[in-house]
Amino acid sequence: MKQVHVFTCAAFNYIPKVRMLFRSLRELHPDWILHLALADERRPEIDLTSEPFDHVLSVDMLDIPAWKGWAFCHTIVELATAIKPFALAKLLKLPDTAKVIYLDPDTVAFSRLDDILAALDEGNIVLTPHQTTPEKTLTAIIDNEVSSLRHGIYNLGFIGVAATEVGLAFADWWSQRLYYFCRADIPKGLFTDQRWIDLVPAFFEGVAIMRSSRHNVAPWNLTTRIVQKDAQGKYLVDGEPLGFYHFTGFDSGAHRTMSIKNSRGSSGIDELVSWYVTQTRDLSKDPLANVPWAFGTYSNGDLITKAQRVVYRERADLQAAYPNPFEASGYLIWWKTKAKNEYPGLFEANDQANELSRIFPILRPGFNAHAGGIDFGVTGRLIKYAMTQPADGIKIAKRGWEILRNEGLVGIKRRLGG
């Protein structure tokens, strides 16, 4: 019998919130098979058998090439999103899989999701947009629609994929993109896993867009949705049962601020948010919430900084020299002895993010960047064209010199890469 498999991605410290998601799904869909894709390393001393999920897929189980060096390139949030398509592909290839659904660990389901299953009966991929109704005020356009243009049209707190040829092709495509480009770098057009999905309706057949306002309700779409409670105490969105709510940005306080600002006329939002506050109030006391992230330190216990991750990600020579950068006897020694000479600005008290952008201004493919290089076929064709069209050849040469002066050889290689 073909099954519905559902997964979320989180490190150990987020499992207390994961419980809320999976308990809600277990109650509504007891036949679904639930998986945790663990953005962490398994600890033999931590017993997860009593948790409300059926299986655990840790990073080392996801068939990710050279996964240790790759994992080092990511922050905890980036890694939790970067493993998503690899876990998706793994589950789609199980012999009993009919459909795979991903939900963020900070979502909770409130009613059955049969309409999503029905959409997957007809299509290959199901997406939910951040907004399904145009905004009416300039403030809301800036806050929500422009934000979607920057972060991605579709919210990747949810995705549904059928175990079809197209579904598998999509998972492989998404895995390839996130292997090299899963990072939060909005100026360069990237927002972890999410911006890539804007391309999906253009690249793949059978993409269903769920425009029902009952799904993926979140602060960024409360301006156009009315959330209320009925006489039985059930939450309704525009008169329909609330499917699932996305409690994003809760720990920072951003959720409460946005929900207050955007929930005009939604009498149920305050109560819903207060409910979640009550449910999560004591989660920080849970032992799992205090398990340190395995990929947050070197083998000697030293904390790994964002700058150390970015430099390693941008330097193919360092990746080749230190395939396991977590070992303190390798990359960390290089950092302490040589990095300050090469990147002195990273060791000053200035804005490190701006310094990293200044040092690495060009978008590069990140981990395993040494796999690319200059495509000499392209180079040859340019030279041949320049010889036959001298006027254009002068323009090409000037442009090449400008790139070399501003970006170095890496800029030339990026434009002539295969």
How does pLDDT run across 76-128, given as a tens digit for each residue? Answer: 999 999 999 999 999 999 999 999 999 999 999 999 999 999 999 999 999 99
| 207-209 and 190-191 beta bridge pairing | unpaired
Q: Is 345 helix (H, G, I), strand (E, B) or coil?
A: helix
Identify which has the larger pLDDT, 175 or 260.
175
Which one-letter DSSP state was computed for residue 154?
B
Within the chain, how many helices (H) and strands (E) appear? Answer: 19, 14
27 vs 399 pLDDT, higher one: 27
Q: For position 28, what pLDDT does the model report? A: 98
CATH architecture, range 3-212: Alpha-Beta Complex (3.90)
Number of CB atoms found within 10 A of residue 379's CB: 12
Q: Say if residues 22 and 107 touch (Cβ distance below 8 Å).
A: no
Q: Could you report the per-residue pLDDT of 370-405, keeping only the tens digit for each?
A: 454 445 455 556 566 566 777 766 666 666 655 555
pTM, whole model, 2 decimals? 0.88
H/E segment holding residue 38: strand 33-38
Give me the mean pLDDT over the 180-201 stretch: 94
Report the percentage of the chain scoring pLDDT > 70: 89
Q: Looking at residue 369, what is its pLDDT?
A: 47
Return the domain boundaries, the chain: 3-212, 297-371, 376-416
Residue 238 host element (H or E):
none
* pLDDT above 90: residue 242: yes
Distance (Å, whole) CA 21 – CA 25: 6
Q: What percent of the chain has pLDDT over 90?
A: 73
